[in-house]
Amino acid sequence: MAINPAEAPKGRMMINPPAVEPTDSGWYLTSGTDLPLVPQRGETRCDVLVIGAGWMGLHAARRYGELAPDNSVVLVDAGRIGNNASGRCMGFAIDLAHNPRKKDFIEDIQGNKDELYTNLDGNAYLRSAVEELGVDCDWDPQGKYHSAATDHGVADLVAFSKALDAMGQGYRWIEKDEMQAMTGSSHYIRALHHPGTILIQPAKYLKNLARVLPRNVTVHENTVVSTARFGTDGHVFETASGVIRAKQVILCASGYLTRFGIFRQTAIPLHTFASMTRELTPAELARAGAHEAFGLIPANSFGTTVRRAQNRLFLRNVYSYAPDFTITRQDVERAREQQMVAFRRRWPDLAGMGFETSWSGLLTLARNGGMVFGELAANVYGAAFCNGTGVSRGAAFGKAVAELALGRTSPVIDILRRKTPPSRAYPEPITGAGVRLVTARRFRQAGKEV
Ligand SMILES: Cc1cc2nc3c(=O)[nH]c(=O)nc-3n(C[C@H](O)[C@H](O)[C@H](O)COP(=O)(O)OP(=O)(O)OC[C@H]3O[C@@H](n4cnc5c(N)ncnc54)[C@H](O)[C@@H]3O)c2cc1C
């Protein structure tokens, strides 16, 4: 995908900094020692600058560094690695997402095959970080349980199973008794186990990968890129205390990519929220079922995602539209109340303990579900907008965009280049009103799946 040259950004552009999340995530707070903090200072010259150190950016930097060991790679992030949206996620590295909102999900066999191929490539790259580079992240390849608490949830799962049948994918139905034994909760009436998804501690993975990036990759956290000037023979970026001159740039800044003058007015920033309990006592753990760890994806996408990990429970739900990307502590508090409702529904005898911490995180959507991948202008590459499933995709997109920047080809690059780019959002207040209406309605309809 190359953008219309007329749209290519020209001149020195001011870039608004990304919003700061009001609280740290539970994953980040339990992810061990901080990385050494080295913000960028003075003048830096590099072959490639990667902006954004989430799933996309870290894997772009890793791949570029591996394939071009004589080139210098600089990776910058406005915040701390692991405390961005990537580290705030629920840690499902999903091979095949269940997308009941996509009208042709069951019929779109080729689309699903492409998605699976891309995500498996991403998961293989994640796995190689664990197995070859020793990245500790509580790697757990147990798959995911699509879990239903209502009859309409079960109907959604039956529809999903038809798509899996059409793709020749194996799965197993789990009935209520088995779910209760596994989770200690009588809330779920049926579930579908689909193998292939890997559960990880996301902040741990990201921080530990940053520690073992190739030697030609230099990482600068707390480094906001505040201006950009794109040129045909190199680009110049200013930070708070310096300047970076790069021959190529790879933009992995999620929705903030639009602030670089690219795909303007396409990002629809949604936030979703999660909470984590304190560590459960042995007696409490016994009431949370027989499995030490599990990951439950709600049958309805507006339902509650659950993980048991690190002897704690993690619950995620609620979507909130934030046109300026900004979330307040009050927004996190309101979402926490919904997570308490979900906690009480599932484990009424444990919910009294409440949550130790709650947080929000950014998802970037486009009106048409489009994603950014490819050469966006001369020597400007980008990968962004992974909707709700950015772990496996992020690893695959990041790896592929670095290969593309180095002139390589691959089947994943071919697939990603065919993807529809994001379309412009309707102007405000239409987008805001529409997103708020739909999210409120779908949340209500999800009922006890929340
Ligand atoms: C609560 C929650 C649960 C989720 N659960 C899952 C899940 O289980 N599985 C899954 O696949 N997906 C999940 N997601 C979605 C997933 O987290 C995102 O799709 C993914 O993190 C996007 O990765 P990214 O690398 O594109 O962007 P980000 O992680 O958003 O990284 C972009 C980075 O760019 C940096 N940046 C932006 N502008 C600048 C600038 N001017 N200068 C310097 N740096 C800049 C930002 O600081 C940021 O760190 C979840 C999301 C949330 C919020």
pLDDT digits (tens, 9 = 90+) for 322-378: 989 999 999 999 999 999 999 999 999 999 999 999 999 999 999 999 999 999 999
Give the residue-averaged pLDDT of 149-169.
93
CA distances from 151 to 179, 188, 217, 446, 448 (A): 16, 10, 51, 11, 10
Alpha carbons 135 and 98: distance in angstroms, whole number: 28
* Predicted local distance difference test score (pLDDT) of residue 98: 77
- pLDDT reported for residue 10: 84
Task: Round to the nearest angstrom and report the end-to-end CA distance of the chain.
Answer: 38
Atom of ligand 1 nearest to the CA of 398: 25
Mean of per-residue pLDDT scores for the chain: 94
Judge whether residue 3 has pLDDT over 60: no
Please say whether the beta carbons of 387 and 369 come within 8 A: yes
Distance 104 CA to ligand 1 centre (A): 27
Taking the C-alpha atoms of residue 113 and residue 166, their distance in angstroms, rounded to an integer, is: 10
Q: Which distant-in-sequence residues (6+ apart) come within 8 Å of 33 by Cβ?
A: none
394: nearest Cα among 260, 250, 275, 261: 250
The protein residue with its alpha carbon nearest to ligand 1, atom 25, reads 54
List b or e across 221-250, with b for residues whose CB sees 16 or more CB atoms inside 10 angstroms.
Answer: bebbbeebebeeeebebbbeeeebebbbbb
Q: What is the pLDDT of residue 106?
A: 66
Structure confidence at residue 183 as a pLDDT band (50, 70, 90): very high
Q: Where are the domains of the chain?
A: 5-449
pLDDT bracket for residue 182 (50, 70, 90): very high
Does 51 score more than 70 pLDDT?
yes
For ligand 1, atom 48: residue with the closest CA: 52
Which tops the pLDDT comparison, 112 or 61? 61
Best residue for ligand 1 mutational test, from 59, 254, 301, 318 (most atoms within 8 Å of Cβ)? 254
Taking only the tens place, the pLDDT of each residue in 191-246 is 999 999 999 999 999 999 999 999 999 999 999 999 999 998 899 999 999 999 99
Query: What mean pLDDT do residues 304-308 have?
Result: 98
Q: Which CATH class is domain 5-449?
A: alpha beta
Look at the pTM and tell me if it is higher than 0.75. yes
pLDDT of residue 5: 46
| pLDDT confidence band for 169 (50 / 70 / 90) | very high
Whose alpha carbon is nearest atom 19 of ligand 1? 390
Of 193, 200, 190, nearest to 144 (Cα)?
193
Q: Quick check: 101 pLDDT over 60?
A: no
Q: Residues lining ligand 1, judged by CB closer than 6 Å? A: 15, 17-18, 51-57, 76-79, 84-86, 88-92, 94, 224-225, 252-254, 256, 272, 274, 316, 361-363, 384, 386, 388-391, 394
Distance 379 CA to ligand 1 centre (A): 23
Binned at pLDDT 50, 70 and 90, residue 299 comes out as very high
Ligand 1 mutation target, pool 140, 339, 363, 397, most atoms within 8 A of CB: 363
